[in-house]
Amino acid sequence: MKRLSLATLALGLCLSAAPVLAQDDPVRDAVLDYMDFATYHQGIIQPQQLDETVFDVATFIDARTPEEFEAGHIPGAINIDWRAVPAEIADVPGDMIVVYCNSGTLSAQAAFAARLMGHEHVVMLQGGLEGWQRDGVYKPE
């Protein structure tokens, strides 16, 4: 009987924690609006596109942990944990902001959230640091 009670409690907690997608939910509406007009490559930059011109105008955000950042990063990048990017993006200078992580997974989430919040000058580096190290056309010292 005790197992059934714990299982029932766990199920109840899961159901109560599930997001409610009401028809008038502003978050739902923002996501749907963004997805209606997003193009296939919107919000993405490829390592092959990171030439000297991009480095001259862009601010790079390394969305990995401080330990990963210290182990190596794109020159000139600032370190902001991927979860904090949407909250801190308004304070980051630049007409173009490139967010990256190791492979692009976490930075994609951070950049998507920032773009949903209206920061359309934020893009995610496809392939992350690994992609840039492998395929980047320009690597400043």
53, part of any domain:
yes
**pLDDT for 80-94, tens place per residue?**
999 999 999 999 999
Burial of 108 (0-12, 13-18, 19+ CB in 10 A): buried
**pLDDT for 91-108, tens place per residue?**
999 999 999 999 999 999
**pLDDT for 6-15, tens place per residue?**
334 344 444 4
Structural domain boundaries enclosing 116: 35-135
Read off the amino acid at residue 58: A
pLDDT given for residue 43 in this prediction: 82
d(CA 121, CA 32): 19
d(CA 113, CA 122): 10
Note the pTM of the prediction, 2 decimals: 0.74
> What CATH number does residue 130 fall under?
3.40.250.10
16, part of any domain:
no
9, part of any domain:
no
Number of domains, the chain: 1
d(CA 129, CA 79): 13
Q: Which residue has the tokens 């011109």?
A: 53
43, part of any domain:
yes
52, part of any domain:
yes
Position 26 confidence tier, pLDDT thresholds 50, 70, 90: confident
79, part of any domain:
yes
